[in-house]
Each structure stands twice: as structure tokens, then as C-alpha cells.
Chains A and B, each alone.
Chain A
Amino acid sequence: MNGNAIRLSGVRFRWRTGAPLVLDLAEFAARPGERLFVHGPSGSGKTTLLNLLAGICLPQEGVVEIVGEDLARVPGPRRDAIRADCIGFIFQMFNLLPFLSLTENVLLPCRFSPVRRARADAAPGGAEAEALRLLAHMGLGEAAAAGRAVAELSTGQQQRVAAARALIGAPPVIIADEPTSALDADAQAAFLDLLFAEAGQSGATVLFVSHDRRLDAGFDRVVALAEINRAAGAEGRAA
């Protein structure tokens, strides 16, 4: 353990052999509890970076560590388990499964991670109560209680359900890939406030990527991907 929540070292990644290098990172790390904002234009490799952190893609070279475990050195099932146990994801849009209730969507990670399941169960009132508490905190208590379907929610509301899902079972890392790009400015700010408040409580590291650097208020550190990425192939450099 080196005390980092996430760490990338000497990482080089291309999607296919022969394809241009998308990421070439010498050293990049985030401390536990740190709020990190990474920005870069579209196509610069932000989502690719998150795929590496998720263990969905493996770098051709280098080390990708989540809470001290090198994803490239563990077998596939363990990588999936690390993702389930340690990372809460929020995507740009369409985060939810339409055939599950709001609570079921929030509890989804608990189906695959016994660790998060146990933590959610340990919350006062158990996992269901914890899911409802998070939804209520996101301003969706009534919607959840009324049994509203995913399709009946606005995009902003859906993103807040996704945030509750990322937070359930207190994973040490929250990764958000442009989660507010479909929201208006007021909703963006409100969303970030809620996310920070909850992540602050659980002590989670927040890694937030966006092409829109105006959102950087409230973060501990702001990083331009172009500054740390030495890959010449990334298209976003020119933009």
C-alpha cells in the first residue's frame, strides 16, 4: 500500500495493436478522499482512462492500481471484483436499467459486490433503508416512495439516482464521466454539491472528468489531461 486511492504509473495504452497511442501517462495518482477534476476536449482519452481504472481495458505497459492492487497483475474475475467493490460509476447519461425500480437500481452494485452489500447492510435499517436514505438525500425520496419508474424521471433526476448508486456501500472511489453534461447550470451545481456532501461523509475519492472546465469549482485539484498525457495520437490535442 502506498496510500493512494488510485495510481497510474508508466501507462501506455492503445485500443488495438497498430492503432495510435491514446494514453501515455508517466505518473498520475489521487489520495483517499481527494476531489480530482480532469478535463480535456472530446476524444482526448478521458473515457479511455476511466476504462483502464475500471479494469475493463488493460494497458499494454505500466501499472494501474486501485487501492493498492495492480489491475494488470490480478486474474480477470478479481479485476471485476475490484471494480464492483471499490468503484462507483456515474456515466454521462442512460445510467439506469429501466426495468428496475429506483431502489433496485441503487442497490445494483450490491448484487455483484458482497463487500458493498455488507457495508450497505450495516447502515442503520439495512441496505434498503440506506438506498432510500441516499435517494432522499438526492431529493428523490418521494419519487422512490411513490414507486416512480425510471422512464418517468428527468435526466437530472436520473443522474442523481446514478449518484446514489455510485455511493451505495461506500466504495473508496467514485468515478464520474461527464455526469452533468446533459444538465443545465443550476442542476450541475446542485448535483456536484450533493455528490461532494455524500462522498465527503464516506471519505471517497472523487475522480470527475469533463470536457467543460468551468465545472471545476469545489475540487481539491484540477488537471488537464493534455498536461499529463504524452500520447501524440490523442486527437483532442489539437482542439
Chain B
Amino acid sequence: MRGAPILGLAVKSLLNRRATVGLTLLALAVSVMLVLGVEKLRTEAKASFAATISGTDLIVGARSGSVQLLLYAVFRIGNATNNISWQSYQEIAARPDVAWTVPLSLGDSHRGFRVLGTTGDYFRHYRYARKKSLAFSVGGPFTDLFDAVLGAEVARALGYKLGDPLVVAHGLGAQGFSNHKDKPFRVAGILARTGTPVDRTVHVSLQAIEAIHVDWKSGAPVPGMRVTADQVRRMDLTPRAITAVLVGAKSRFAAFSLQRAINEYRAEPLLAVLPGVALQELWDLMGTAEAALAAISVAVVAAGLLGMMIMMLAGLNERRREMAILRSVGARPLHLFALLVSEAAVLTTAGAAAGLGLFYAALAAFRPVLDSRFGLFLEISAPTAHDLAILGAVVLAGVLAGAVPALGAYRQSLADGMTVKL
């Protein structure tokens, strides 16, 4: 009581007005939660985004935009407009400055998850985050023609275990009449979770992609042509074309000359992009949305603080008696100013703390959904320095907002003195 004559009064006065103060506090807490949430999503999305692919020097596809190539080859979003011929792929793979290649063939799906045709090299060379390689939680790479390796999310969402059968649909629509049910696959391996689009991919061999399409032409089964699963095993299943190639160069320097060579490739129009550059380009495209999101959350906090200011201003008149009593027992006008500023400080500090609590509660509640639906894995970690800076800024802004009604109280107490007409 002696140390903080005003702060104690501020807290008690606030507690006395629970209903209005409680609502104001709730508005502040929700706005703070939103800011922290947006910030978390932004940083984690960016980090997880940048961690999608690493260790690959070039991504090669048919000539289109670099962002489009990145989207379909790495994020499994959208479609390639054109393919790369097997011939071109062979020539790239044979170049002396190429260390390794991983061919990718896209176009089919399984119950909403993309099916990727590739080779065993995919599991050896694909890297994500800080040069982490893919690991199997059970099973291993494909050995049989109709073996499939599932991403962690595919297995979890569809409840697949090792040895389960699965049927690949033609194209990207839901499981419909147009599928490859005459050639079922078997789950040979399930990958450990990576937090990248790999989790949402069904991997099969390039030959398998070829095999399920031998009796198809231009997206439909050829009438009267039936090739059974057993017959297909005896056929030549070398693909005629693939969708994209991941390339590892012998050296970083080699990657640049290789990129130039591929971009100037004469037999067909190809595009080679550096994954880091394309990722940055893609992220920049989303920068506007990111800025808009940040602006909205700041506006929400401003609205919360405005609500507090309005509550305090509206309360000034009915608190004239309180002010007059305080003046009579020796409070200076400055004390009354301090009282209202303290109230604002207490309110915003409580709002920031409650907002932090709400944020963690929401994080715990929505984490599984964000992880499974959007592949966004959010860690529950202690508030970052940036989070604390945000909270500090909210409290500071709150104190400044409180200065407005506090100035009102100061002026009012000078005018009223101890005489308040009731």
C-alpha cells in the first residue's frame, strides 16, 4: 500500500467494474492472441516453406514459369503444361557435371493424394530442411513393380499399413469410374514425417506409372484393349516422357553452367531453376498476403485498445465522485492521471497475458488440424523475443491510449475539485 498507492487503487477499481472491464479485457486478449497467431503462422510457414527442398541444385522441367515448375515439381500443386522426353532426360543425366538425377512423373492421384512416379534414387537424394534425408518408419523402397511408398500423412489419413492394397485413380479427381483398379498396388514402405509435401505423396516406380497406362490413350482406356497386371510385367516399361527432374551437380559452380546449358538445350524447350531462387520468388509472391495479414492483426489490436479507451472515457463522468474523494484525501491531479494510466497498464498487461494464454490454448487445439490439413507443423515453444516485443508494444500502446482518458481525468479533477454536483 505504501509502495504503490495508485496501482493498488487501480486494480481494485477495475475489479469493481468487472462486467465492462471483463469485456474490454476479452477484446484485448483476443486481439493479442490473433497477432501472436498470425506471427506464428507467418514465421513457421516461411520456415517450413524454405525447408521443403534442400540439397537439390536444379529443378528441371518443360519450359514454363519457374514458380509454376517449383509448384508442381516440389509442392505437388497444379500441373505441368508439358513433359520432358525420356531422351532429353537421358542426355542430362549423362552430362559429366551431373552427380545424380531423380526423374519425377506426376499426373495420377490416390484418394486426393498425388501419386509420384520416380526411382529408388528419390529416397537416396531427396533432402529437406537442413539436408535431412528421407527415412522409412516401416518397410523400404519399392522392389516389385506394383509397390508403393506412402508419405506419413497419406498413411495416417487413410489408415494404411504395410502390405495394404491401393488403387490409383487416373488424373487428379476423386476416386471415380476412371481408375486403374485392374492393377492394384501394395504398400511396401511408409516414410517418416517430414513436414513437407512428401508427407502427402504416394510414391511408385516410373515403370509402374508406365504400366498402369499401357492400355490408356489420351486419358481414357482404349476400347477393347485389356492388358492384365501379369501381362504388363513382361512388357518394356521404359517411359516415353517424364514431368520433371531433380538434379544434383558435381559442384556449386557446375550448377550454374549446367543451368545455362539446360536452358539453352536445343532439342526441346526446357527450364532449369535453382530451388532457393524459385522458393524466394514464390514467397515474394505471397508477400502481399502476408503484409495484409499482419496489417489486419495490427488493426484488430488497435480496435481492442480503442475499445479500452472508449470504456475509460465513458466511465470518467460516473467516476467524478471517486475522483473528488481522492482529491479530498490528498490526491494530486497527477495522481488521478496516474490512476487512469495505471488502469490502462494493468488492463493491457492482463490482456497481453490472457492473449498469450489464449494463443497457446488455440495453438494446442488447432495444431493437429494445421498439421494434417495444411502440412504446417507448429511447434509449441516458449515465446520468442519477437513475441515478447509484440506484447511489450501492446502494453506500451495501451499505456499511451490510457493517457487520453487520464488527461480527461486530470482536467476534470482540476475543474471539479472536491465539489461534484450530484
A and B part of one assembly: yes
Q: Looking at the complex, which one of B15, B329, B332, B334 makes contact with A165 (CB distance below 8 Å)?
A: B329
Is B321's CB within 8 Å of the partner chain A? Answer: yes
For B327, the closest partner residue in chain A by CB is A56
CA distance A35 to B209 in the complex (A): 108
For A81, the closest partner residue in chain B by CB is B330
Contacts A56-B327, A96-B325, A98-B16 given; does A76 touch B332 at CB 8 Å:
yes
CA distance A98 to B321 in the complex (A): 11
Q: Which residues of A contact B422 (CB under 8 A)?
A: 93-94
Is A95's CB within 8 Å of the partner chain B? Answer: yes
CA distance A84 to B422 in the complex (A): 24
CB atoms of A47 and B419 under 8 A apart: yes
Q: Which residues of A contact B2 (CB under 8 A)?
A: 111, 117
Interface of A is mostly: helix
B373-422 with Cβ < 8 A to chain A: 417-419, 422
Contacts A97-B322, A99-B12, A99-B15 given; does A91 touch B330 at CB 8 Å:
no
Q: Which 3 pairs of residues, A with B, have the shortest CB-CB distance?
A: A84-B330, A99-B16, A112-B330
Interface size class of B (residues with CB under 8 A): 20 to 34
Contacts A51-B417, A51-B419 given; does A109 touch B12 at CB 8 Å:
no
* B interface list, Cβ under 8 A from A: 1-2, 5, 9, 12-13, 15-16, 321-322, 325-332, 334-335, 417-419, 422
Task: Tally inter-chain residue pairs, CB-CB below 8 A.
Answer: 71
Q: Which residues of A contact B334 (CB under 8 A)?
A: 77
CA distance A111 to B335 in the complex (A): 11
Q: Looking at the complex, which one of B1, B15, B329, B335 makes contact with A109 (CB distance below 8 Å)?
A: B329
A10-68 with Cβ < 8 A to chain B: 47, 50-51, 54, 56-57
CA distance A109 to B327 in the complex (A): 10
**In the complex, how many angstroms separate the beta carbon of A86 from the nearest chain B beta carbon?**
10
**Can you identify 18 A-B contacts, CB atoms within 8 angstroms?**
A50-B418, A51-B417, A56-B327, A56-B418, A81-B330, A83-B330, A84-B329, A89-B329, A93-B422, A97-B13, A97-B325, A97-B326, A98-B16, A99-B12, A104-B12, A107-B1, A109-B329, A110-B1
